[in-house]
Structure 1
Amino acid sequence: MRLRVALALAFLGALLTGLGPLPGLVAPGAPAAYPSWPLLLVLALLPPALAVALIRRGEPAAGAAVLVGAAVLVPGRVGTDLQFAVDPGGAARPEVLELHELAHFTPALGFWLLMTGHLAVLLAGLFALRRSGHESGAGTQRQGVLAMVLCVGALGAIGVLMAPFRSEDPFLVAEPALDGPLPVLVGSALLAIAAAGGAGLLAGSADPEIARGGLFGVASGLAAVAVPPLVSVLVLDDLRFEWGPVLMLVAAVALAALGVPAGRAAAEADPQDLRLPALTRLLTLAGVFALVAGAIAVLAAIAPHVSMPFGLRDPSTYPARMLWPAGSVLLVVGAGLLVPSAALRLRPVLPVVWVVLPLAAAGSLDAVFTAVQAAGAQVGIGAWASGLAVLPAAVAAVLAAIAGAVERDDVDLTEMAMRRSVLGPSLLALVLGAGAFSLPVLTAPDYTAPGVFTAFGTTSWGLVLAMAAVVGATVLAPMCRPQRAAALLCGAAVVVAVRVVQYPLTSDRLPESAPGLGLWFGIGCLLVLLGTAAAASRAPKPTS
């Protein structure tokens, strides 16, 4: 009975949150910028629909946990939606409200329907929580998954705190949460906490069904926050792309994918019989997504990124060249994962090297944004393709990481220890890698290269992500098994190599260009990484 009541409340809340804004959120009336209600309704119905599907499969605890996961995000959504009552101009929600004048607005019927919908979803989660009987304490088989859930949740939290888009409409002001009005700041903070902490708490449940359903619920709720800003950017001319919603969507997809291994119960018969097929499927899927990402990146390198007004030079030509090595890397790794004899050795490489795509795409998109804003250029298919390629690359990396967790289930980790022979060179590579990505590889008179500490922009996000991947690989490698440590370090070397080839590929665009410090740091880091990888592959397995 509790579960039936929870489902009824969840469907009621979905209808109210999806259709509630239609009568108007404020008075005097201000409709949505475009007909978004079908999208909002589908996103709102996703959690209860998933819950029903799991219950019909004979997994009532998983179905209840979906409603709990969706309810975890409700306090944050209530906080951000309160901005409609305080000052609608600071809400930055064109999918439900578009203002064309400065006036005194008061809450209308749609606002109260929306708040009632949130309350219904929250109550559904509370009823479902009583039904699911949540307990903490993930088994040892899912500790790796729990760690990845926390990392992915942190990524989603970062996306929540970033601006949803850039706006040229004076009545539609979009800012990062820290610079926004108080209700948006508080609501975004609650959403960020829920994305990371709520997902981690549910993934740590002792019941695998609750872990799986909870992650599905958090993922669907996070997608409901991430998708509308992305659609708004696509359909409205005055809005420009920002990375925040993309990070949230990547986190939502990753959490849903992690729900599969999180829901694995302890094997009742032969664990090997259950894990090997799952591992093979994960590696195959990761290879396919990597191939798709690489192919899209190569298409982006070929296709025009912008159409410039007559007489103006296309600034995206040279940055787009970086998509060639990035796409080639994903094609090679993806093809290797489809070869059974090489898949296990290449698997640790993919969660590191996938960052070459956002590294390359960020630089090309930065040039596109500049051309569009400064010269009124038209965005070409190459720009869309370069941004689109990042998503399958991220999915491939998540699948490869999950495959690693499945693989480690059959490994005795009690004897693993820090390898000092790998630790010292890895720390040196870490320092050199930080210099390679934080310092420019190309210098020229009167030119300031986008970087981590100077001229921070769209390109800088790619540099930060690539630097984080190299740092993560060098930190983990000394604690890994020999072959896996070598693969991680080789992946980091590939990322650094893509950074190094930026100089020969793009130096011709600037007169009197010269190598920057970042290039020399990169070459040094590349040599140290390759040498350390060779040493790590020969290191004996520790016995204490």
Structure 2
Amino acid sequence: MTARPDAPSPAGNPPKPTIAIAAAAVGALLLGLAPIAGLVEPDLAAAFPSWPLLLVLAVLPPALALLFGQRDRPGTAAAVLIAPAVLAPARIVLDLQLVVDAGLAARPELLLPNTLDPLRPATGVWLLIAGHVATVVAGVLAFRGREPGDSGADSGSRRQGLLAGVLCASVVAAVGALMTPFSSDDPYLLPRAAVDSPVVVLVGGLLLALAVPCVGGFVAGSADPDVARGGLLGLALAIAGVAVPPVFAAAVVDALHFEAGPVLMVLAAVALAVLALPAGRIPSDAEAGELLLPTLSRLLTTAGVLALIAGVLFVLAALTPQLEMPSYLSQPPLYSARMLWPAGLVLAGLGITVLVPGLALLVRPVLTVAWSVLPLVAAAVLDTVFTAVQGAGATAEIGAWAAGVGVLVGIAAAIVAALAGGVERDDVDLTENEVNRTVLALSAVAGVLGALSLVLPVIVAPGYTPPGVFSDFSTTSWGLVAALTAVIGAALLAPRCRPARASALLCGGGVVVAVRVLELPLTAARAEGSGPGLGLWAGIAALVMFACTAVVAARARAEKAFVDA
């Protein structure tokens, strides 16, 4: 009797993601057909016959996933589809500019404007959006259907340097996504950097710049080599799908010229594809017992360096002009730029502290919360810059660019610091870790007060309405949302953490609130008759509560050590 092959174990390879691949293929077909169907009315052709290029770029992820599936690597096949799905919402927002005002889209691969008359969206626009939606569906199906494969490797390990390399390449791609896609001699085709673009393109560019390092950190930190390899290949192809069309257009259209942004993205995509090769190699038995992930000290060093760079960029932003007005307009005082100083000094100080071996583990949780001071401050500065650029024809200067890049680097620092925390917890017995009820109660009060300090105005003045989370929502409000999320997250997580880490998280929440409180003394001159608002008093109370709760959490550690002794 012929022996029947053993059934795969629960930890074995998942089934082939056939439905996900089919959904991705449908999405690719829709993206390729969109230029043929016509994107606007009256109909305008692309700057070059682009549909073959767009179709190939869109088909590559499902084709690669199908190839891995046929080679019995379903985990890798599923992972290939995840990154394009995460980047697809940002691409949907970018494509919505074709609905709002196609003449300002600057998408030569889709259409070449030759008139100032209004353009109406046609069938092709909806095919583009439907294609991206199908890509999202494919990614969701692939993610839900994947399971860790039996790689034979240590479940918490990755190769040294992989995470650092992926994050560096991802940040380069994110910066490139915010830069000018190409230059143009055509008066009807006006490419701009994200900061100078219409609001829809700006939001889409920011979403794209945030999504790339997030996906890179997720897949590079996976314990499954199949997910790491497939995820990095999918991310490389997704970045190429955005960057290659403007590069190709600059190469074949005489009126268009290369710019650095898409070129940086293409180079980052190549780097990620190269990193995918060692990422998917299954280690030998001898290697499996070693620490293959960047060691904890290396992760901490990377987080510290990134935080230091982010802080230095913010100090540079504070020292240099953020805005250049046209010659016929006077330079307005940019009061929000004064907040760049405390944010930059906080991140630079945390970066230096994380680089000190004896303090790194204690300070690391602070960084995972305090990074949010960067978007809190930068959003207000960039809001003013965007308004001046779009309303008065001003030009964004190096200070604005430094602040924008600093936010991205700070996000990367927080991601690496969080990954370092995961590695640290792998070596700690958490079975006896209990929720301290006193810390829980005090932390809840601190979190509520901290949230109020960010929701309520810190400055009030006659005729002055500051941007908020629930009213007058603007670019500045996104920074408030980021800080609000970080403060509430710290308050919720602290009671469940080890005492020292809980104390550090609470200190991080206090740092964010302290920067918020500084808004009054540093920017009160922006409005005549200004005074303290309810947000200031809530912030001061929250700062006191965060400090007291951090002390209580630290004392809980000392008491536990005394009892154990």
TM-score of the superposed pair, with normalisation by structure 2:
0.68
Contact 2:68 2:74 in 1 (8 A): no
1:239 maps onto 2:197 in alignment: yes
Give the equivalent residue in structure 2 for 1:248.
Answer: 208
Q: 1:482 aligns with which of 499, 503, 523?
A: 499
1:463-515 superposed Cα distances (whole Å, 9 cap, x missing partner): 11110111111111111110111111111110111111011110112101111
Q: C-alpha root-mean-square deviation of aligned residues, in Å?
A: 4.5
How do 1:59-458 residues align onto structure 2 when only pairs under 5 Å count? 76=27, 78-80=29-31, 82-89=33-40, 102-103=42-43, 110-112=50-52, 114-116=54-56, 118-119=58-59, 121-134=61-74, 159=90, 162-163=93-94, 171-172=103-104, 182-192=126-136, 198=142, 204-207=148-151, 230-232=178-180, 235=183, 236-237=191-192, 239-240=197-198, 242-263=202-223, 274=291, 278-310=295-327, 312-315=329-332, 317-458=334-475
Quick check: 295-304 or 76-85, which moved more?
Answer: 76-85
Quick check: 369-378 or 495-504, which moved more?
Answer: 369-378
1:221-246 superposed Cα distances (whole Å, 9 cap, x missing partner): 99999788634467524734624333
Query: Secondary structure of 2:202's partner?
Result: coil
CA distance in 2, matches of 1:486, 1:234: 49
Query: Secondary structure of 2:365's partner?
Result: coil
Query: Secondary structure of 2:291's partner?
Result: helix
Q: 2:477 aligns with which of 457, 460, 471?
A: 460
1:208–1:74 Cα change, 3 Å: farther
1:106-151 superposed Cα distances (whole Å, 9 cap, x missing partner): 9996324532553454233112023243469xxxxxxxxx9xxx9x
The residue identity in structure 1 corresponding to 2:371 is: W
Give the equivalent residue in structure 2 for 1:57.
Answer: none
Query: Secondary structure of 1:465's partner?
Result: helix
Give the equivalent residue in structure 1 for 2:234.
Answer: none
Deviation at 1:414, TM superposition (A): 2.6
The residue identity in structure 2 corresponding to 1:171 is: G
Deviation at 1:302, TM superposition (A): 0.8
Query: Secondary structure of 1:349's partner?
Result: helix
Deviation at 1:530, TM superposition (A): 1.2
Query: Secondary structure of 2:508's partner?
Result: helix
1:219–1:361 Cα change, 3 Å: closer
Give the equivalent residue in structure 2 for 1:94.
Answer: none
Contact 2:177 2:208 in 1 (8 A): no
Give the equivalent residue in structure 2 for 1:26.
Answer: none
Quick check: 438-447 or 79-88, which moved more?
Answer: 79-88
CA distance in 2, matches of 1:207, 1:271: 10
CA distance in 2, matches of 1:245, 1:272: 42
1:397–1:220 Cα change, 3 Å: closer
The residue identity in structure 1 corresponding to 2:103 is: F
Unaligned runs of 5+ in 1: 1-60, 90-100, 137-145, 175-179
The residue identity in structure 1 corresponding to 2:540 is: I
The residue identity in structure 1 corresponding to 2:505 is: L
Query: Secondary structure of 1:450's partner?
Result: coil
Deviation at 1:202, TM superposition (A): 5.2
CA distance in 1, matches of 2:44, 2:292: 61
CA distance in 1, matches of 2:371, 2:350: 9
Query: Secondary structure of 2:435's partner?
Result: coil
CA distance in 1, matches of 2:487, 2:44: 52
Contact 1:354 1:393 in 2 (8 A): yes
Contact 1:69 1:125 in 2 (8 A): no
Deviation at 1:77, TM superposition (A): 5.2
CA distance in 1, matches of 2:220, 2:390: 43
The residue identity in structure 1 corresponding to 2:537 is: W
1:528–1:223 Cα change, 3 Å: closer
The residue identity in structure 1 corresponding to 2:416 is: L
1:113–1:334 Cα change, 3 Å: closer
Give the equivalent residue in structure 2 for 1:55.
Answer: none
The residue identity in structure 2 corresponding to 1:127 is: L
Unaligned runs of 5+ in 2: 1-11, 107-123, 184-190, 225-281
Q: 1:501 aligns with which of 496, 514, 518?
A: 518
The residue identity in structure 1 corresponding to 2:399 is: G
1:471 maps onto 2:488 in alignment: yes
TM-score of the superposed pair, with normalisation by structure 1:
0.70
The residue identity in structure 2 corresponding to 1:183 is: L
Query: Secondary structure of 1:242's partner?
Result: helix
Query: Secondary structure of 1:456's partner?
Result: coil
Deviation at 1:412, TM superposition (A): 1.6
Contact 1:164 1:245 in 2 (8 A): no
CA distance in 1, matches of 2:136, 2:170: 10
